[in-house]
Amino acid sequence: MKKMKTGGLEQALEKAVCALASTIEYHDPFTAAHQVQVTRLACRLAKELNLSAERTTGLRVAGIIHDLGKVYLPVEIASKPCPLTPAEMEIVMGHPQLGCDIIKEVKFPWPVQKIILQHHERLDGSGYPRGLKGRAIILESRIMAVADVMQAIVSQRPYRPGLGLNRAREVIIEGRGARYDPEVVDACLDLFKRKRFSFDRP
Q: Is pLDDT larger for residue 182 or for residue 1? A: 182
Query: Is residue 202 reached through a cis peptide bond, with omega within 30 degrees of 0 on the bond before it?
Result: no
Least confident of 29-38, 43-52, 161-170, 188-197: 29-38
How many C-beta atoms surround the C-beta of residue 96 within 10 A?
Answer: 25
CATH architecture, domain 6-193: Orthogonal Bundle (1.10)
Query: Long-range contacts for 133-141 (Cβ within 8 Å, ≥24 apart)?
Result: 138/111, 138/114, 139/49, 139/51, 139/181, 140/46, 140/51, 140/55, 140/58, 140/59, 140/62, 140/111, 140/114, 140/115, 141/114, 141/115, 141/117
CB–CB of 23/71 below 8 Å? yes
pLDDT tens digits along 141-167 = 999 999 999 999 999 887 788 899 999
Task: Find out whether 169 and 189 touch, Cβ atoms under 8 Å.
Answer: yes
Does this model's pTM top 0.85? My answer is yes
Q: How would residue 198 be classed by pLDDT, with cut points 50, 70 and 90?
A: confident
